[in-house]
Amino acid sequence: MTMTPSRPLSLITGASSGIGAAFARQLAALGHDLVLTARRADRLETLAAELFGQHDTKVTVLPHDLANPAAPQELADALDQHGLQVDWLINNAGYGLPGSFDANDWTAHADFLQVLLTAPTELAWRLLPGMRQRGYGRIINVASLAGHVPGPAGHTLYAATKAYLIKFSQSLALENHTAGVNVCALCPGFTWSEFHDITRTRDKMNKMPGFMWLSAEDVVHQGIAAVERGQAVYIPGRVNRTIKTVVQLMPDRLAMWLSARESKRYRNTSA
């Protein structure tokens, strides 16, 4: 039997900006208390003060760098020390690593895989048992439309990690839906955020037509609704859903050719 808590507690990774901050604001407005984590403690504290002022939200700030392999365990230990039981896990932390595969050293790749693949998997593993025991939980793994289409040149590991999160979410959803735990891979396309500033592709991305973009607020609103419906995979935006369907119907060779052509417009494929 699903027992929805009166004030669910949500842990949001990568909460300092973009989609993560949008999740914090919308979940606070829905009556959630929050645990926010990211590297930039000052931004988390500013956001926490904003949400307390607007919604009387209890916000616990736990700064961590998820590139550190010890971070998920440390987060779980800190939650225990604060007596906090997480009802919603938003695995949102992520970034892009521009350039061809051999243009980056292995440390950069290892950190990337730790943040985008290993950390969300471990956090789900550590927090899922409590959700099952209480008969209620929500896990949103922020994946990407990139996980549904051929991987482009440049950002070599990005699409691969997002495809993993999609399959991982599907399996978790099947394993846990009868225990009151819904799992959703949220797969946005182009979203207004700092992502493309950090990857130094903003000038290229500004050439993309406006109809290709969604706001972080729209992505999050649709994602929350999708996980509540029990939808294991959700792509926000009609244009993005159309792209996924068209690509799936194409022969692989044609899809790869289109990916190669389009990636030159908005990816850094060299060092």
Q: What is the DSSP string of 200-240?
A: T-HHHHTTS-GGGEEEHHHHHHHHHHHHHHT-SEE--SHHH
Report field, pTM of the whole predicted structure over 0.95? no
- Domain residue limits, the chain: 9-266
Under 8 Å between Cβ of 170 and 182: no
pLDDT tops 50 at residue 197: no
Count CB atoms within 10 A of the CB of residue 24.
28
- Say if residue 199's pLDDT is above 50: no
Residues 128-137, mean pLDDT to the nearest whole number: 98
Confidence at 139, pLDDT banded by 50, 70, 90: very high
9-266 placed in CATH 3.30.565.10: no
66 Rama sector, left if φ>0, alpha if ψ -120 to 50, beta otherwise: alpha
- The residues annotated as belonging to the active site are 158
